[in-house]
Structure 1
């Protein structure tokens, strides 16, 4: 396959110093990713009409792009830090924990696979694997966490898996993957200049 047809997934050779520490530029870029993700945590969009109380926010896209550009550790930071900061403004620790689990479960495995298998094939394989892991994490997380902070019983959460939780989380994951796939290469090119 020609190099020009490969999807860009940075191996991060430009962003660390010889000792393996982060460069000032990488720190600054990661901070910008975190700031954008933080702002986007406040953008809540109802995407699943049967459950209008379940909201989608696009912050996961920013974290996913950061993971593909700089690596899974950066993706994890850009997933976790904005939600930790949001707790200062909107105290919903269980919801924020769920968002962190879902985001890390998607972008970290996807990036690890995309770095091992080059090109579009690796990116697609990574996204599929990450999507399956994230979907499982969302379902298990809901079963465990939802009864802790709502009046909904574990049995009621289990009853919601097929009609509500699976389709909502699958739709959310598909949106994150599709948008990330479309924008990650141009953003990687801008960041690496």
Structure 2
């Protein structure tokens, strides 16, 4: 596949991921500022089909676009990028050798990395950003951990179901392993 075609695909998937970021809803109504959006699925798809780096590029582009056109919240969008990175990169890196067992292992590692990493990042960032005591963050921590575990599990299940089909469309000569 030509580099131009890959660049075009990354551009299209980044734009789609940006649009999908607007489809958001809280998983836990008690903490409605934690909103699920399925945009990281597109980055994971590209990571599985092409490479982890291309998936990270999709994450970066969709987050930059969202920052410019909607949020204006650099801390929130940076945390969104870190969460996506912590999930997509290890998942795709482990899967890069293909196979269902490696794929499942990749999901488990990615979910764990993103959930644990975001718990730690929230402990470090939220008291400074929201100007709240650390005790407030610790009170929210079970919600944050649960949210990220659910979010990235949903992303994993959806990717597990669709990535083989999408790979066949984007690279018709490539067989699914």
User: What is the TM-score with the length of structure 2 in the denominator?
Assistant: 0.91
Distance in 2, Cα, partners of 1:31 & 1:44? 22
What corresponds to 1:61 in structure 2?
41
Could you say which structure has the higher helix fraction? 2
What corresponds to 1:10 in structure 2?
none
Q: Does 1:28 pair with 2:5? A: no
Distance in 2, Cα, partners of 1:77 & 1:84? 11
Structure 2 spans left out of the alignment, 5+ residues: 173-177
Distance in 2, Cα, partners of 1:32 & 1:95? 24
Distance in 2, Cα, partners of 1:46 & 1:67? 26
What corresponds to 1:3 in structure 2?
none
What corresponds to 1:112 in structure 2?
93
Distance in 1, Cα, partners of 2:120 & 2:170? 36
Distance in 2, Cα, partners of 1:82 & 1:148? 26
What corresponds to 1:8 in structure 2?
none
Quick one: higher RCO (CA 8 Å, sep 6+), 1 or 2? 1
Deviations 1:56-100 (A, max 9, x none): 111111111111111100110111111112211220111101110
Deviations 1:34-69 (A, max 9, x none): 000111122211122332221111111111111111
Two-structure CA RMSD over aligned residues (Å): 1.3
Of 71, 77, 82, the match for 1:101: 82
Q: Does 1:71 pair with 2:51? A: yes
Q: Does 1:91 pair with 2:72? A: yes
- In the TM superposition, 1:1-193 aligns within 5 A as 15=1, 23-89=3-69, 90-116=71-97, 118-162=98-142, 164-193=143-172
Distance in 2, Cα, partners of 1:152 & 1:83? 26
Structure 1 spans left out of the alignment, 5+ residues: 1-14, 17-22
Aligned residues between the structures = 171
